[in-house]
Structure 1
Amino acid sequence: MTSPSVTTATAGRGPSARWGRDLAAGHRGAAVVFLSPAMAVIVLFVVVPIGLTFWISLHEWSMYTPLTDMAWRGLANYRELLADRDFFTALRNTLVYVVLVVAVTLPLAVALGMLLYFPKSAAKGVARAVLFSTYVVPTVATAIVWGALYAPDYGPFAQMFSAVGLSAPAWLSEPGTALVSLVVFHVWQMIGYYTILVVAGLTQIPPDLYEAARIDGAGFWRQTVSVTLPLLRRTTIFMTLITVINAIQVFDPVYILTQGGPAESTSVVSFSIQREAFQYGMAGQASAMAFSLLIVLLAIGGLFLAAMRRRS
């Protein structure tokens, strides 16, 4: 007589079990088929360029010669970066730029997001569209316009200073104001995008929490500190990550408005990479800088993702 355990084991190996395994294998096969085009694109346009950049960074090569003319240098390009004063100047300028952008953008975006979310007004949609429009306009076009705004003689900013009897600063022509002027342009261009992120985060907060806080006697500022800001933490962390990455990668305004000057005061890492590769023809050194920047960005992204996991 067959025991119950044997019967159960045999049933587990029956047609239904085989059907379940076949179904799971079919799902895996379908997933591979549907993901293959996207993975092929990622490998072709992300993994291959990153690998090629690292390979070039190990060589001495000019952009104006074939790849076959590269001369092996190993890690010499990376060692030279550690002794390159211009590279550290670009790093310092990039760090100052990132800190200023984050310090101004995050509080301003949160304030504008709350201003566009809480008041009951029919003009909120129009205001959001106007704010977001600065983000969708091409950077090159807006940088040219801001170059005219910053013009020392005929620019509107200079005219406003003259109207009140003051001399306008040389916005883009003095080392002390050039980088700050670029920060102002960056904040103006990106603030609409970050404000929309804040509004999206605010829509995820249950209205019942505000109702309960009002019943307990909490005013606007108490609700902001005890309800809004804590529940916006994940949005704020994500927004900080995007702000830092965008600020580190800044290139167009520097290239169009200042060319890294005056006196290298606006020479950031991304502009230095372009100048080394295309103006000086030192693609190996430029690739070493680019790959080092990639490592920094990956480290920053990892830290922010770890912070988000801890908070959750």
Structure 2
Amino acid sequence: MTAEPTTVREDRAAPSRRVRPARGVAGARAAAGLGMALPPILLIALFIGFPIVLAFAFSLGFTGGLNHTIAVIGQNVHEADGAVPDLGAYTDTFTSQRFLGDLAVTVAVTLTSTTIVVLLAAAIGLYLKFRGGLVGKVLSGLAVVPLFIPVVIASWAILGFYSANGFLRSVAAQLGVEFPVWSFTMVTVVIGSVWTSLPFATLLVTSGLQAVPQAMIDAARDAGASFWRVVASVVLPMAGVPIIIATTFTAIGILGSFTVPYFTGPNSPNMLGVDMSNYFSAFNQPQQAVVMAFVVFAIASGIAAVYVWANFRSAKESGAV
């Protein structure tokens, strides 16, 4: 009598299912997270978002409510016809030769100063990356010195340094050379903007360049690449995101600057930060000043879009998104 073969059954483990918290627990966690994030959101909305909305409505001629007082005090105020906005303030501003000249000066100073700052920061960072040593440390140390000097003091120092009886003209006079007077010109505005913006840009650019792997540089050198080829093909592309971030931060800071152009620049043309203050206080035209503020805001938003793109690209490369 033969025994029947026994059948062995292998119990397969059921696929593990992700245990989801109960709806009540998930709702409590979501409410707690919202409660922790709500105070800063409300603070930003109350002290930044709400005034921006009010100012934008005022620029379109809605002078009622909280805009009533400034509309009564201000001159050349255009009022909307019921719910129909009035673009008279925008027409006045964009047909003003003073505003157009100040806008051109603002863009020119921003582009020039930002370019100089980024080039100086990149030069210091490259020297530290490839040479280092005592000279590199001295350069990096001098680049961050303006970070600890108040902007007002630096502006007055720059103004006196390049004035008619300043240090440079005094030294040039001893040598029989007529040095130009740069105080109260846009040249000193550019110099002051570079002075105040260089420390932060140097820190960002230098850190980005130092993060480039040395093995990549050595591999390029072993392949016969020259110094400038290594810089252009390896170092700068790999440090591109920090350089873009430094550029955008510098450009936005210079675009909205007030202290440096106010102390060192001419009365006209000057940058829009000073022009807005003049229109608001000296000329008593708050509506036109708000229009200028939104022009600066629009330009800064375009620069900020590049910053957001750089951050998104950096997060994507790191695998965060």
TM-score grouping bracket, smaller chain normalisation: 0.7 to 0.9
2:229 aligned with 1:218, yes or no?
no
Residue from 160, 164, 168 that aligns with 1:148: 160
Runs of 4+ in structure 1 off by over 6 angstroms are none
Deviation (angstroms), 1:310: 7.0
**Structure 2 counterpart of 1:91, which letter?**
L
Q: Taking structure 2 as the reference length, what is the TM-score of the superposition? A: 0.80
Residue from 168, 176, 184 that aligns with 1:165: 176
2:214 aligned with 1:207, yes or no?
yes
Q: Which runs of 5+ in 2 are unaligned?
A: 1-13, 81-85
The separation in 2 between residues aligned to 1:22 and 1:121, in whole angstroms, is 61
Q: 1:252 to 1:219 in 2, by over 3 A?
A: same
Tell me the equivalent position of 1:40. 42
Tell me the equivalent position of 1:269. 272
Tell me the equivalent position of 2:3. none
Q: Which runs of 5+ in 1 are unaligned?
A: 1-7
**Structure 2 counterpart of 1:238, which letter?**
I
Residue from 136, 151, 157 that aligns with 1:139: 151
Q: 1:120 to 1:87 in 2, by over 3 A?
A: closer
The separation in 1 between residues aligned to 2:142 and 2:22, in whole angstroms, is 54
Deviation (angstroms), 1:158: 0.9
The separation in 2 between residues aligned to 1:203 and 1:49, in whole angstroms, is 42
Residue from 280, 293, 296 that aligns with 2:299: 296
SS in 1 for 2:133: coil
The separation in 2 between residues aligned to 1:160 and 1:138, in whole angstroms, is 27
- Equivalent pair of 1:237/1:308 in contact (CA under 8 Å): no
Which one scores higher on RCO, CA 8 angstroms, separation ≥ 6? 1
2:258 aligned with 1:255, yes or no?
no
- Equivalent pair of 2:208/2:242 in contact (CA under 8 Å): yes
The separation in 2 between residues aligned to 1:76 and 1:214, in whole angstroms, is 62
Percent of residue pairs bearing the same amino acid type: 24
Q: How many residues align?
A: 288
The separation in 2 between residues aligned to 1:28 and 1:125, in whole angstroms, is 49
Deviation (angstroms), 1:299: 2.5
Superposed CA RMSD in Å reads 2.8
2:104 aligned with 1:92, yes or no?
yes
More helix, by proportion: 1
The separation in 2 between residues aligned to 1:67 and 1:235, in whole angstroms, is 43
- Equivalent pair of 1:134/1:192 in contact (CA under 8 Å): yes
Q: 1:32 to 1:96 in 2, by over 3 A?
A: same
- Equivalent pair of 1:105/1:191 in contact (CA under 8 Å): yes
My pick for the range that moved more, 126-135 or 98-107, is 126-135
Tell me the equivalent position of 2:54. 52
2:284 aligned with 1:281, yes or no?
yes
The structure having more radius of gyration, on CA atoms, is 2
The Cα offsets for residues 222-270 of structure 1, whole Å up to 9 and x where unpaired, read as: 2212211111211222122112212211211221123x43xx23x1111
Tell me the equivalent position of 1:243. 250
